[in-house]
Amino acid sequence: MTNRLLRVGGNNLKSLVIGATGKIGGAVSEALGGRHEVVRASRSRSALSVDLAEPDSIRALYAEVGRVDAVVCAAGRGAFGPLLALTDAELAFSLSNKIMGQVNLVRFGVEAVANGGSFTLTSGRLSRHPVPGGAAISMANAALEGFVRAAALELPRGIRINVVAPGPVREPVPAEVAQTYLDAVEGIVTGQVLDR
């Protein structure tokens, strides 16, 4: 396909997947595994652990993993509940985990990502299709999408950044959801919100 950008020799890309033990992260790890060396990380159920709400945890992950070609984040949590019932702590949690956790993956990871590599983050359709009780998550998703569009203008060395916005995910994760992440990692687009 013309939108693919793979290294000569094929199966030598190293991809870090955060949230690799979740529904989406597991499917993405499986999809990448055929052509990539996949390094799996999650909050508590994988060999490498990372807490997106803790900047030092993200820095420590990169120090342990070393150089990668791609970083995929299929993690990040936010509060769901009626707007007027959301507490300051729930809103702060959504900001520190879903937004700043992924923003910091990019900020702290630029030096770890190889020339021409990529970041693929995860937002969600609630950014553009809100539902009652979803104000905090809609806010976080929309912020991430704006961040990706702007960050794409500034990342050095040909590094790309995109965000996948999946709808509600069931198990098993539909193949087209995992394929969208694969397209973001191996494609040539940057600064895009990829719906799936």
pTM (predicted TM-score): 0.92
* pLDDT over threshold 80, residue 88: yes
* Domain residue ranges of the chain, discontinuous segments joined by +: 13-195
- The predicted pLDDT at position 4 comes to 46
* pLDDT over threshold 70, residue 8: no
Q: What distance in Å separates the CA atoms of residue 6 and residue 90, rounded to the nearest whole number?
A: 41
Q: What single letter denotes the amino acid at residue 58? A: I
> Is residue 116 very low, low, confident or very high in pLDDT (cuts 50, 70, 90)?
very high
- The predicted pLDDT at position 184 comes to 97
Dihedral, 83, 89, 95, 98 alpha carbons, nearest 10: -90
Domain 13-195: give its CATH architecture: 3-Layer(aba) Sandwich (3.40)
